């Protein structure tokens, strides 16, 4: 990518990969993940020095190891969900520090589809606002990549999830995944529906990845002392707001979390990955890979993601 803009700014080019330096590995990718954060970097909402690669998630085999790398070796099956961008590639050199070793039970495609989105649901539900079971929560975009994993994880925890979606087809998917109440926010007022479902009380937590379009409605859906977890901006960045918005609705708490902070130590990453693998291996979560594109068709994949045509997870095959 030499400039920011629409999907057409991505170019499929040959670059010299080279050998890994100290603390680095070279990985041959088998499958790469598509995530909404890639759109933010491509469009320029999240800045980065150019020219640059894109993509933060992939799975593959270690093909060379640089000096001072001890926890992985050539031939290991690994995945990752981390910066720097550059996962949209056949082969890359990257830091070894935050690679996840894949158990035999997890295929490359599943790993590429779930490492970033699954680790996200893991920290949202276990750490940002820890769910114990019995809560009723609001989670937007319930049929998306993160959303279908969240629907299943909530059900497994005994949590009643209210999910929002933009079509009846997406509502059916979220329901089948375990989302207890699904609201079509194109045709229904989600704030009113949340009040109805909760008997007027509101929810203790909203997980909001939509941003601009849902921000105020999400605050309005909270019970007093509730927590707003604003973790994305699919509709655009949340505009500046007054802290009085939190006081006037009953001493709300707000946080704007991001995955890298939750997996920044080896211990945190290993614990989170083990939790995610357990949920998948025990069949409490099934990863829905509903779209596959050739990596060279990534512009079409971005266009479809932004046009809200995708559901569940999407992978790119190099
Ligand atoms: P999704 O598969 O969920 O795709 C985004 C979905 O957002 C769409 O399918 C659509 O669902 C909904 N949406 C609502 N308004 C818009 C709009 N104006 N344009 C496009 N989509 C819209 O993507 P991901 O699973 O990759 O990511 C989900 C969200 O989670 C993103 O906002 C992402 O940035 C965030 N995220 C944050 C992380 C963090 O650590 N902070 C980590 C991972 C993801 P519908 O049609 O049903 O409304």
Is 83 a residue whose pLDDT tops 90? no
Mean pLDDT of 303-309: 98
**Ligand 1 proximity of 259 Cβ (cutoff 6 Å):** yes
The percent of residues in the chain predicted with pLDDT above 70, rounded, is 100
- Per-residue confidence (pLDDT) for residue 137, from 0 to 100: 98
Cβ neighbours of residue 91 closer than 8 Å, sequence gap 6 or more: 17, 26, 27, 28, 29, 63
**Ligand 1 proximity of 253 Cβ (cutoff 6 Å):** no
What CATH number should be reported for the domain whose range is 133-256?
A: 3.40.50.720
The answer to whether the beta carbons of residues 190 and 219 sit under 8 Å apart is: no
| Phi and psi based region of residue 81 (left: phi greater than 0; alpha: psi -120 to 50; beta: remaining) | beta
Q: Which residue ranges does the chain devote to CATH 3.40.50.720?
A: 133-256
CA-nearest residue, atom 23 of ligand 1: 36
Is 132 a residue whose pLDDT tops 90? yes
pLDDT tens by residue, 219-259: 999 999 999 999 999 999 999 999 999 999 999 999 999 99
pLDDT tens by residue, 170-208: 999 999 999 999 999 999 999 999 999 999 999 999 999
- Per-residue confidence (pLDDT) for residue 69, from 0 to 100: 96
Spatial separation of the C-alpha atoms in residues 57 and 84, rounded to whole Å:
10
- Six-digit token pair at 217? 């409605």
225 CA from centroid of ligand 1 (Å): 26
**Ligand 1 proximity of 120 Cβ (cutoff 6 Å):** yes
**Ligand 1 proximity of 141 Cβ (cutoff 6 Å):** yes
Q: Is the pTM of this model over 0.95?
A: yes
- Six-digit token pair at 193? 């529906």
Is 118 a residue whose pLDDT tops 90? yes
Spatial separation of the C-alpha atoms in residues 54 and 56, rounded to whole Å:
7
Spatial separation of the C-alpha atoms in residues 146 and 206, rounded to whole Å:
14
**Ligand 1 proximity of 35 Cβ (cutoff 6 Å):** yes
pLDDT tens by residue, 50-65: 999 999 999 999 999 9
117 Cα nearest atom in ligand 1:
43
**Assigned superfamily of 7-115+260-317:** Medium-chain alcohol dehydrogenases, catalytic domain (3.90.180.10)
């Amino acid at each position: 990518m030499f400039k920011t803009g629409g999907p057409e700014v991505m170019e499929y080019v040959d670059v010299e990969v080279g050998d890994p330096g100290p603390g680095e590995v070279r990985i041959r990718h088998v499958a790469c993940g598509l995530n909404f954060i890639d759109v933010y970097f491509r469009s320029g909402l999240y800045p980065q020095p150019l020219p640059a690669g894109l993509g933060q998630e992939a799975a593959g085999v270690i093909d060379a190891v640089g000096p001072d790398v001890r926890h992985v070796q050539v031939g290991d099956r690994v995945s990752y969900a981390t910066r720097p961008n550059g996962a949209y590639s056949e082969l890359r050199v990257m830091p070894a520090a935050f690679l996840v070793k894949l158990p035999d039970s997890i295929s490359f495609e599943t790993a590429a589809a779930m490492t970033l989105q699954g680790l996200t649901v893991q920290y949202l539900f276990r750490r940002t606002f820890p769910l114990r079971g019995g809560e009723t929560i609001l989670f937007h975009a319930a049929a998306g990549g993160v959303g279908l994993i969240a629907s299943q994880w909530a059900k497994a925890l005994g949590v009643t999830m209210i999910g929002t979606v933009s079509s009846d087809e997406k509502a059916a998917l979220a329901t089948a995944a375990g989302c207890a109440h699904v609201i079509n926010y194109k045709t229904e007022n989600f704030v009113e529906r949340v009040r109805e479902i909760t008997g007027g009380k509101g929810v203790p937590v909203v997980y909001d990845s939509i941003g601009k379009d849902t921000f105020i409605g999400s605050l309005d859906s909270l019970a007093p002392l509730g927590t707003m977890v604003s973790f994305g901006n699919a509709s655009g960045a949340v505009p500046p707001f007054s802290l009085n918005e939190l006081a006037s609705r009953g001493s709300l708490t707000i946080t704007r979390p991001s995955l890298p902070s939750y997996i920044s130590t080896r211990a945190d990453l290993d614990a989170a990955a083990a939790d995610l693998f357990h949920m998948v291996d025990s069949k409490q979560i099934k990863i829905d890979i509903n779209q596959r594109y050739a990596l060279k068709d990534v512009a079409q994949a971005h266009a479809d993601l932004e046009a809200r045509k995708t559901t569940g997870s999407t992978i790119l095959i190099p």
